[in-house]
Amino acid sequence: MDTICLRDGYADGQYILPPLPYDVTALEPFLDAETLRLHHDAHHAAYVAGANAALAQQRSMSSAGISAAVAQSLAFNLAGHMLHTLYWGNLSPQAGQRPCGELARVIDSEFGSYSDFAQLFRNVATGVQGSGWAVLAKDAVSHRLVVLAAQKHQDALLPRMRPLLVCDVWEHAYYLRYRNNRAAYVDAFMDQICWHTVCQRYHHNKENNHACCK
């Protein structure tokens, strides 16, 4: 299956909106086409436009007074752009996948078992206050796996954290189908994860040349 990576979100000196790696109906019944269309074509596109605008503004800035606000806007929009690119890539039309190979062994040794990890990730995603993200990341310093909660977008851009799996818990990600039942959306999300992509991110490799990615 085609997938997308962060590099697909930049070309010719501009941040760009990478196309969805599947049809807008491909994630039914987990997410409906209208949710995907709005989320990708409106919300994600707005973060791309916002990142380009803030970056251009920062480069042409003459007034010291608005620098912090523009930098905040850049952090918000750029992180939003990156997180959404990761989000599309770690969802799969094929439900019911589980981690395998080395990543499965690491998850077992870090969290006890896949189901312990899944329960933790569910709890974090459901518990993020307001709008934000749950993120499974690899800490490049300790080489440990960590589950992080981020409010808004930019908190997720922690130094030396490589995001492997991200779950958008902004209401725009689920409200049309799940209304206020975020827990039901997160439960369904856990069954639509593209572990192939998560595994590629873990190995820091877009090519499918390691044993656990079949």
Q: Is residue 40 a contact point for Mn ion (CB under 5 A)?
A: no
Q: Is residue 50 a contact point for Mn ion (CB under 5 A)?
A: no
* Residues 173-192 contacting Mn ion, CB under 5 A: 173
CA nearest 30: which of 192, 212, 194? 192
Q: Judged by CB under 5 A, how many residues of this single chain contact Mn ion?
A: 3
Nearer of residues 173 and 194 to Mn ion, judged by Cβ: 173
- Cβ atoms 108, 172 nearer than 8 A: no
Which span sits near Mn ion by CB under 5 A: 30-38, 97-105, 164-172, 200-208?
164-172
Q: Cβ 170 to Mn ion, closest distance in Å? A: 5
Nearer of residues 165 and 173 to Mn ion, judged by Cβ: 173
Nearer of residues 74 and 168 to Mn ion, judged by Cβ: 168
Nearer of residues 47 and 117 to Mn ion, judged by Cβ: 47
Question: Per the structure block, which two tokens stand in for 137?
Answer: 């990341």
Nearer of residues 52 and 103 to Mn ion, judged by Cβ: 52
- Cβ atoms 213, 19 nearer than 8 A: no
Which span sits near Mn ion by CB under 5 A: 28-36, 105-113, 169-177, 204-212?
169-177
Q: Is residue 168 a contact point for Mn ion (CB under 5 A)?
A: yes
CA distance 38 to 12: 26
Angle at 190 between CA 189 and CA 195, to 5 degrees: 110
Q: Is residue 170 a contact point for Mn ion (CB under 5 A)?
A: yes
Amino acid at 172: H
Question: Length of the chain, please?
Answer: 214
Tell me the three state secondary structure of residue 36: helix
Nearer of residues 164 and 167 to Mn ion, judged by Cβ: 167
CB count within 10 Å of CB 187 equals: 15
Residue-wise burial string across 40-65, b where 16 or more C-beta atoms lie within 10 A, e elsewhere: beeebeebbebbbebbebeeeeeeee
Instruction: Specify the DSSP class assigned to residue 173.
Output: G
Q: Cβ 47 to Mn ion, closest distance in Å? A: 8
CA nearest 84: which of 53, 141, 38, 33? 38
Q: Is residue 202 a contact point for Mn ion (CB under 5 A)?
A: no
Q: Cβ 159 to Mn ion, closest distance in Å? A: 23
Binding residues for Mn ion (CB under 5 A): 168, 170, 173
